[in-house]
Structure 1
Amino acid sequence: MKEKTAIILISSQALPMAQLLQKEFGNCTVFSQKELDGCTQILSYSDFVAASFTEYDRFLFIGAMGICVRCIAPCVSNKYDDPAVVCVDSTGQFAIPVLSGHVGGANEWAKQISSILGAQAVITTQSDCNGVWALDLLASKFGWQTDFSHDELNRAIACFVNQGRVALLLDIKDKGTAWMERTLPSYVKVYYHYNDIPFDETELLIAVTPYEYECPVQALYYRPQVLHLGVGCRKQCVPDGVPEYIEDYLKSQHLSPLSLATISTIELKKDEPLLVALHDKWKHANVRIYSQEELSGIEVPNPSQKVHDVTGVYGVAESAASKSSGHGKWIIEKQKGELTPDSNFTFAVTLDGNAVRGGHIEIVGAGPGDPELISVRGKHMLEKADLVLYAGSLVPRELTYYAKEGAVVRSSANMDLQEQFALMKEFYDKGLFVVRLHTGDPCIYGAIQEQMAFFDEYGMSYHITPGISSFQAAAAALRSQFTIPEKVQSIILTRGEGRTPMPEKEQLHKLAQSQSTMCIYLSASIVEDVQRELLQAYSPETPVAACYKLTWKEEKIYRGVLKDLARIVRENNLTLTTLLVVGDAIDNRKGLSRLYASDFKHLFRP
């Protein structure tokens, strides 16, 4: 939902600026004391602000800062409740956050306004000026929960921005902890185990953890959503006191209920009052309901034949918790509770599998070759890797230069599959981070299926970071859109039939009948066969391009027509790293996209 915004136009000469910003932001009204086109007229700026201060999420004053300050001064309460206020001078040179810079978002809004106007954002918040974390925004930025007071937060911020002795505890991992590791200020020391922290050398502890610790120094706890609560109960279980019982048990195990991500059970129990009571207690947690089929094959630590006879699964609480966490780490195995004869219940808790610190393998798409065409995420993965195993003959070694000092970088060109597995597992078993670097995008002839089967067999944590494929690089290098309105709307990625047989229905001459743009991989060595099959469907004069080592330093591109494709490849000694592109979309400049038709103009409205 867009934030409700009021633009207060003090200087009428800036009306075009106000109208531009109104279009950009949406859900936005321009107010002026003068009667101006597109503006809502008001009698007094200060009276309007006083009457509507709590009705708008953001106020933008265009004009003198003094008027802005005098208008809002009587209304100011605190940074947690006040709306964001920004003032822009009438010439559009400066955008200045005046109120609620962090929590209200005025600092980021000022930067956005500046980017629209080509202005300069004048930010005075110390953490922004120093380029360090905004502690008051971390929870909202990464979806964490907190229960510290405003005073506790302010004391922590004071220590942090003044570069006190700060320890950072990250005993789980998620998107937020990865960002913190990557952007760690020089004066902050990171620890992965609480007992490793030297508290005699620490003034402030910042902890991203589901665990509760009795810390001897000032501490700021962020609670990531990584715990999964599974519940089971007798029919129409009386819920009175049960949420509090479970909460007390969690705390006795040094777990924070604020880290609950889900509350789950079997479909048979979806209408139980207990489920409603638990969600009322922890509204930040999502409720998940699983069918018997979804839970029936899950192994649980404490199976019960009696429960299986009733529900079809060997443990409702444990199987639901395991399912929700992606079969992560057991934190609390099944516990039974009975507050009254009518309130029998069970519960179990798991830690999200992706949050468990330990070995991990990231399969990264390197892109077509140019080190600058790897994704930002892919670059971050390389920077944190302890082992980089790259496809040596297909991936330029320059891409591995992103690896950190001390990382092991190995080419897999001379390794068989078992050697690759053994090396990755050696690092994985030590709890280290492994990047398996593949050319292009791993899903396109990336040979990752066998690797994933191995990882699955050994229960290893892994993830795929996609990459730019060479067919996309080809379109860019050829300065071509591979689809033509009303003529070509499909792009076929395929290969010729060499040592690897093609399914009969995917043979080139059959695919070519669609007259789509065809990008043919791994086929330079059999180009004569490719040409012969394509000529069964395409015209001999169909444009073609042979693209060798796209985006590499050695890149070469040869254009021609289909009847000459084999000759082009052979005369130029093109090899395996050649992509063949065929179709009328090459160099096409005809045809108007429907996006620019008059009935599509709504796409451009804010």
Structure 2
Amino acid sequence: MKQTSHIAIIASTDRALVLAGTIRQSLPDVAIFSTRKDIPAGVISIDTIGSFLEENFNQYNAFLFIGALGICVRSIAPYIKDKNTDPAILNMDDHGYFVQPVLSGHTGGANTLARQVAHILGAQAVITTSSDLQDIWALDTLGKQYAWKTAATAPLNTVISLFVNNRPTALLLDVKAEGTIWLEKTKPDFVTVFYNINDIPLEQFDLLIAVTFRKYAVAIPVLHYHPAALHIGMGCSRDIEADLLEVSVLEQLQQQGLAAEAVKSIASIDIKHDEKAFIALADKWQIPFYTYTAAALNECEVPNPSPVVKDKLDVYSVSEASAHLSSGNDGWLVEKQKITVSSGKKHTIAVALDAALERRAQVAIVGAGPGDPALVAVRGKELLESADLILYAGSLVPEELTHYAKEGAVVRNSASMTLEEQISLMEEHYAKGHLIVRLQSGDPSIYGAIQEQMTIFDEKGMDYFIVPGISSFQAAAAVLKSEFTIPEVVQTIILTRGEGNTPLPEHEKLQEMARHRATMCIFLSATIAKNVQAQLLEHYPPETPVAVLYRVTWKDERVFTGQLQELAAIIRSNKLTRTALIIVGAAIGARKNRSHLYNPEWKHIFRNQKTKNL
């Protein structure tokens, strides 16, 4: 059993004890041991390092020796057994210059701990493992990082050697999850990504890494990472033998090329809640066993309903329906199979893939932000990096944003395409299970023309979602160094447009909006600036501040300021016709008036006491 303190520091000089104390202040669960007799409070005295390790080598997750490396090596030598079970061993000189992992750099976490200690002390972490030095994946710990089970068709050291020597490697991603997205983003240059085993020219590669629920037997070494992805639904004869059931299930998985390591759950009808074979299998495989009522099972549409089962159990399906309910997936990797085991008893089995891991097509409507590629949302950038197809309006979105695209992605400027042509292209990629990014200027919800696209997506049953972006009116506030809501002056922002080819509702005419004298952000109206000015002057004073921003945050951004009575002249004299945003209101450049939020006299739930001005 491990000790409460997970890290043991062995320090026997004055300088070493000082360093150990500093480390303990920053890292939890640290115990300090010393062979010295005159030790400070909080340090545990030991007779010899050897006797201490003999009793405690397997009781701590990590040992940090502060002193000569030779002492460390000779001390641990008698107790080293296996990289998968040995604790992390580190050594540091007692001046705190260098921290070096000695054992279990990856598996035991010595490399990570060395970096932590180095940060605390301002020391240099001396990392010698090849994958760390190359900044490539540590294959021996990658599975653990994402709770994937690991299985290789060749010795793991052989696989790692191929990888760290940068041999051509195929990465097959049969599922889509947080870990696979990270792998795509961080893949080394010698790794090529595939999504279907049949697309891989195996003769061109020396290694296959597969994140999968399947087993692959090919001519080159395969490193399988198996996420918990498969849900097995079963029915059976009462008291079927547990060992025979397990053998049968394993045979079925093997025949279908599925990995037992990827099984996430088993499920059945609730009258089987006490079926010993199901319980034993779930316990042995350390997975949950779910049961569902007949009513819940009958709500599922299945490919192989059984009138016989309906007569016996009042349900049309047990195996397929329970696999469907536990997986959340409308499809099955294995439809119902009927098996008779050697004792003569029977069971059915169906297998479904966890819906959350299924690599399926999606359309992401992504807000590009105002123009500067650095202002796209982090989520939007990640989608651009992962997309198989990127559609963007080149007249409104900088082409630089598409530079985030991965190698092999299709990037198309939609400026010259009709909506029908865009949809046709998206359908082509959707049918292949691709990720499609429709890149919209600013925020998609503001004059983004996405409603007509979503209507078609709904009609065609295409899955889509929206990623918001920074609107140009928000970027304008930043460029103008203005807050658009000023206490006691203006507390409302109106986003609107002038009436051009697209008519405005009667109650939204500019002169009606102008009655509020709010901060008004007027889109798509540079060509009708004279009319806009006249309508606004019906209620705004002529000297009201105005700003016109052309392609705000783009490389060729231009900003013009003045008074409302000069608006049309500003736009005309600077020949602005497109991608210009008009801002009107007293908030532009305002520096007076103070909010209550940080007023020392103002109480709220986070600051109940009055404080004096400093």
User: Which TM-score applies when normalising by structure 1?
Assistant: 0.74
Alignment partner of 1:61 is 2:65:
yes
Q: Which runs of 5+ in 1 are unaligned?
A: 536-541, 600-606
Q: After the TM superposition, which of the residue ranges 416-425 and 301-310 deviates more from structure 2?
A: 301-310
Aligned counterpart for 1:246 among listed residues 244, 249, 264:
249
Q: Which residue of 2 aligns with 1:301?
A: 303
Identity %: 44
AA of the residue aligned to 1:26: P
Note the C-alpha offset of 1:448. 5.0
Contact conserved, 1:3 with 1:58, CA < 8 A, in 2?
Answer: no
Q: Which runs of 5+ in 2 are unaligned?
A: 610-614
Note the C-alpha offset of 1:100. 0.5
Q: Which residue of 2 aligns with 1:603?
A: none
Alignment partner of 1:104 is 2:104:
no
Alignment partner of 1:43 is 2:43:
no
Q: After the TM superposition, which of the residue ranges 126-135 and 399-408 deviates more from structure 2?
A: 399-408
Contact conserved, 1:42 with 1:48, CA < 8 A, in 2?
Answer: no
User: Match of 1:427, SS?
Assistant: helix
Distance in 1, matches of 2:124 and 2:145, equals: 24
Q: Which residue of 2 aligns with 1:437?
A: 439
Distance in 2, matches of 1:306 and 1:518, equals: 71
Q: Which residue of 2 aligns with 1:124?
A: 128
Q: Which residue of 2 aligns with 1:282?
A: 285
Distance in 2, matches of 1:292 and 1:248, equals: 28
Q: Which residue of 1 aligns with 2:83?
A: 79
Note the C-alpha offset of 1:78. 1.8
Note the C-alpha offset of 1:185. 4.0
AA of the residue aligned to 2:263: L
- Taking a change above 3 Å as real, the CA distance of residues 341 and 98 of structure 1, as seen in their structure-2 partners, is closer
Contact conserved, 1:31 with 1:39, CA < 8 A, in 2?
Answer: no
Contact conserved, 2:523 with 2:582, CA < 8 A, in 1?
Answer: yes
- Taking a change above 3 Å as real, the CA distance of residues 340 and 194 of structure 1, as seen in their structure-2 partners, is closer
Q: Which residue of 1 aligns with 2:334?
A: 332
Contact conserved, 2:546 with 2:582, CA < 8 A, in 1?
Answer: no
- Taking a change above 3 Å as real, the CA distance of residues 468 and 244 of structure 1, as seen in their structure-2 partners, is farther
Distance in 2, matches of 1:6 and 1:480, equals: 55
User: Match of 1:206, SS?
Assistant: strand
Distance in 1, matches of 2:332 and 2:62, equals: 45
Note the C-alpha offset of 1:421. 1.4
Contact conserved, 1:169 with 1:192, CA < 8 A, in 2?
Answer: yes
AA of the residue aligned to 1:240: A
Distance in 1, matches of 2:422 and 2:330, equals: 26
- Taking a change above 3 Å as real, the CA distance of residues 18 and 129 of structure 1, as seen in their structure-2 partners, is same
Distance in 2, matches of 1:553 and 1:27, equals: 52
Q: Which residue of 1 aligns with 2:612?
A: none
Alignment partner of 1:208 is 2:211:
yes
Distance in 2, matches of 1:452 and 1:212, equals: 39
- Taking a change above 3 Å as real, the CA distance of residues 249 and 382 of structure 1, as seen in their structure-2 partners, is same
Q: Which residue of 2 aligns with 1:604?
A: none
User: Match of 1:139, SS?
Assistant: helix
Note the C-alpha offset of 1:238. 4.7
- Taking a change above 3 Å as real, the CA distance of residues 480 and 14 of structure 1, as seen in their structure-2 partners, is farther
User: Match of 2:140, SS?
Assistant: coil
Q: Which residue of 2 aligns with 1:398?
A: 400
Distance in 2, matches of 1:421 and 1:266, equals: 43
Q: Deviations over 1:75-99 (max 9, x none)?
A: 3222111122233334443332121
Distance in 2, matches of 1:482 and 1:114, equals: 46
Q: Which residue of 2 aligns with 1:369?
A: 371
Q: Which residue of 2 aligns with 1:347?
A: 349
User: Match of 1:349, SS?
Assistant: strand
Distance in 1, matches of 2:344 and 2:63, equals: 55
Contact conserved, 1:365 with 1:465, CA < 8 A, in 2?
Answer: yes
AA of the residue aligned to 1:221: H
Contact conserved, 1:392 with 1:413, CA < 8 A, in 2?
Answer: yes
Aligned counterpart for 1:227 among listed residues 222, 227, 230:
230
Alignment length, in residue pairs? Answer: 581
Note the C-alpha offset of 1:282. 2.4
Note the C-alpha offset of 1:423. 1.8
Q: How does 1:98-177 map to 2 (within 5 A)?
A: 98-148=102-152, 152-164=155-167, 166-177=169-180
Contact conserved, 2:273 with 2:291, CA < 8 A, in 1?
Answer: yes
Note the C-alpha offset of 1:389. 0.4
Distance in 1, matches of 2:295 and 2:446, equals: 33
Q: After the TM superposition, which of the residue ranges 202-211 and 92-101 deviates more from structure 2?
A: 202-211
Q: Which residue of 2 aligns with 1:318?
A: 320
Alignment partner of 1:424 is 2:449:
no
Q: After the TM superposition, which of the residue ranges 582-591 and 11-20 deviates more from structure 2?
A: 582-591
User: Match of 2:437, SS?
Assistant: strand
AA of the residue aligned to 1:316: V
- Taking a change above 3 Å as real, the CA distance of residues 51 and 495 of structure 1, as seen in their structure-2 partners, is farther
User: Match of 1:246, SS?
Assistant: helix
AA of the residue aligned to 2:44: Q
User: Match of 1:146, SS?
Assistant: strand
Q: Which residue of 1 aligns with 2:27?
A: 25
- Taking a change above 3 Å as real, the CA distance of residues 28 and 544 of structure 1, as seen in their structure-2 partners, is farther
Distance in 2, matches of 1:63 and 1:494, equals: 68
Q: Deviations over 1:171-221 (max 9, x none)?
A: 555444444444444445555554666666665443333223433444332
Note the C-alpha offset of 1:101. 0.5
User: Match of 1:136, SS?
Assistant: helix
Q: After the TM superposition, which of the residue ranges 72-81 and 570-579 deviates more from structure 2?
A: 570-579
Q: After the TM superposition, which of the residue ranges 241-250 and 317-326 deviates more from structure 2?
A: 317-326
- Taking a change above 3 Å as real, the CA distance of residues 390 and 306 of structure 1, as seen in their structure-2 partners, is farther
AA of the residue aligned to 1:139: G
Q: Which residue of 2 aligns with 1:4?
A: 6
Contact conserved, 1:493 with 1:521, CA < 8 A, in 2?
Answer: no
AA of the residue aligned to 2:440: H
Contact conserved, 2:444 with 2:468, CA < 8 A, in 1?
Answer: yes
